[in-house]
Amino acid sequence: MDKSSPIGVFDSGIGGLSVLKQLIRFLPYESYVYLGDTARVPYGNKSPETVKAYAGQCTEFLLDKGVKLIVVACNTVSSVALDAVIKTAGKKVPVIGMIEPASEAALRETKNKKIGIIGTRATVNSGAYSALINKLGGKKIEVHSTACPLFVPIAEEGLDSHPAAKMIAEEYLSEMKNAGIDTLVLGCTHYPLLADLFRQVLPGIDLIDSGEHSSVRALRILADKDLLVDTKDEFVQKPKLDFYVTDLPAMFYDLAYKFLGFKIDKPQKIELE
């Protein structure tokens, strides 16, 4: 492992591309290996034991690629299996999940100490976000959590501007609106695509993008370990990216463009064991 080694990113599917977008924003000169376990998505309806097993396989794959840092771009894995990833990665390769950076950011941003958390059922039911926020912020912090399973298909189908999407968002977020939260943690990597929708329903809200804050942490870790790339050549239109998937969904390219904002090359299909 050296400065030229890539950063590894994995997710149960393609939602982690929103995290990759933020990594490219903060670390545009790095190279990346992205793994989407698209054959076994979603992880959210699997048992913790199964998620840990899948996460371990993804981690082993990235380690075989010689990555210098692993970003777990999946809130479900970050909620129930981050320790397993860290154990598999060992002491030499740092691991960053979604929960801690976003929780710390929410505590920094909130003014009235009322924080909302939205995510998949698995992420919300794990209680990982609320437990950490309460641990770091103490009893003075008021946390409201809601599972929002319909937001993922809305994001993937590009229906965020549809009237039905606003009705669903108003239903999901009504309790938080009544509670007067001023900060909302986007506990799913698809949710940044719906930022405008959330701001319509909760005017003036501060949105916490876990991908953004995990990317800032990645920058700091690599800088502290003197592992940032030396080359600062003029940035080209696309950074060096290697994509791997366990299945190639029909809408993969359209969704990848939606998340990243540029077209990607054909990913390599692999099997995980």
Please give the positions annotated as active site.
74, 188
Distance between CA atoms of residues 98 and 192, nearest Å: 13
Opening angle at CA 203, ends 200 and 204, nearest 5: 140
Opening angle at CA 73, ends 272 and 104, nearest 5: 150
Q: In 180-263, where does DSSP find H-type helix?
A: 195-201, 210-224, 252-260
What is each CA distance from 76 to 168, 175, 245, 258, in whole angstroms? 22, 23, 18, 22
What is each CA distance from 151 to 68, 87, 165, 172, 212, in whole angstroms? 33, 32, 8, 10, 19
Under DSSP, the state recorded for 54 is H
Distance between CA atoms of residues 7 and 39, nearest Å: 23
